[in-house]
Amino acid sequence: MGAQRTGTTDPQQKHDQPATEGEQLPEPGSGDSITPRMGEVPDHGESTYRGSGKLADRVAVITGGDSGIGRAVALAFAREGADVVLAYLEGEDKDGRRTAELVEEAGRRVVTVPGDLITETACEELVDRAVAEFGRIDVLVNNAAYQMAQPGGIADITTEQFDRVLKTNLYTMFWLCKMGLPHIPRGGCIINTSSVQAASPSPELLDYATTKAGIVNFTRGLSSMVAEDGIRVNAVAPGPIWTPLIPATMPEEKVESFGTQTPIGRAGQPAEVAPAYVFLASADSSYITGEVIAVTGGQPVTI
């Protein structure tokens, strides 16, 4: 693990820069495969996150919840008192089960819903399952995402890849918001995952960056639309965060320097992103909607 240095307040020293030994991982990446082949297990807050009841008895639906940011958010939400409906890609069951265990260890109920959300039917089934199990959705976290770096730029982005990126990152968010809103009560919220790529697109991630900018615009438009219903809509824009997606979808030479371009000088850990989601899901942010919180190690996000 990028060792957490207990007690330090220096952001450059809180975690080590992840080591990058070994070959590129098979996509979409998993927490299990990253361990022996990359030597670095992402920190999701397993030994550090302490809850204080900010989300007591809330019901959260979290997509992309098997590993990375999704796992860290599920863990933090559970330790804050929320029950969790955990959606993740079919085939990532071992990682999904581990995330579910973290929720259960926090004393909260978890419902796992494996599947591929790139179809409208799958999104409808997720919402229906959440409502059947809990009767409502207090917090909807649209975190599922797909990327595949193409060093050759637009010439190497196939129509198949472009379609998959847009379906996973934009269509899924649209469908879940549309279907979920009738079940979100006043005081509920939606949190979408954007990216620093929305403001500073990397050429090799052109399609991914396009969707992340779209998420920002969607967030702002939807927030105005549902404010009168007492529902807030915000986004988190992570920067270079060390998750299994990175060594699975980026060339090895890019992984080696991942995050070192930030002012803080290292990649972030999922545990360092999750508190932003807790803040936006809690009453602490009751006067905040249509905003984007950047968690980027100092890289600016201005859109």
pLDDT (tens digit, 9 = 90+) per residue, 156-201?
999 999 999 999 999 999 999 999 999 999 999 999 999 999 999 9
- The interaxial angle of helices 159-166 and 206-226, nearest 10 deg, is 30
Q: In angstroms, rounded to a whole number, what is the distance separating the alpha carbons of residues 153 and 121?
A: 32
Is position 273 within any domain? yes
What's the confidence (pLDDT) of residue 57? Answer: 97
* Cα–Cα distance, 74 to 99 (Å, whole number): 7
The pLDDT score that the predictor gives to residue 223 is 98
Is 2:260 a contact under the CB 8 Å cutoff?
A: no
Q: Is residue 148 a part of any domain in this protein?
A: yes
Structural domain includes residue 249: yes
Q: pLDDT for 66-77, tens place per residue?
A: 999 999 999 999
Domain contains 13: no
What pLDDT is attached to residue 9? Answer: 72
* Pairing of the two strands 110-114 and 139-142: unpaired
Q: Active-site residues: which are they? A: 208
Blockwise average pLDDT, block size 10, the chain, 303 residues: 55 61 51 47 93 98 96 98 97 95 98 97 98 98 96 96 98 98 98 96 96 98 98 97 68 64 89 98 98 93 83
Residue 176 identity: L
CB 81 within 8 A of CB 107: no
pTM above 0.75, yes or no: yes
Question: Is position 139 within any domain?
Answer: yes
Domain enclosing residue 289, as ranges? 31-39+51-295
Q: In the chain, how many domains are there?
A: 1
Q: What is the CATH number of the domain that holds 74?
A: 3.40.50.720
| Residue ranges of E strands in the chain | 59-62, 83-88, 110-114, 139-142, 189-193, 232-238, 292-295
Looking up tokens 């089960």 gives 97
Per the domain annotation, does 12 fall within a domain?
A: no
132 in a structural domain: yes
Query: Is 7 among the domain residues?
Result: no
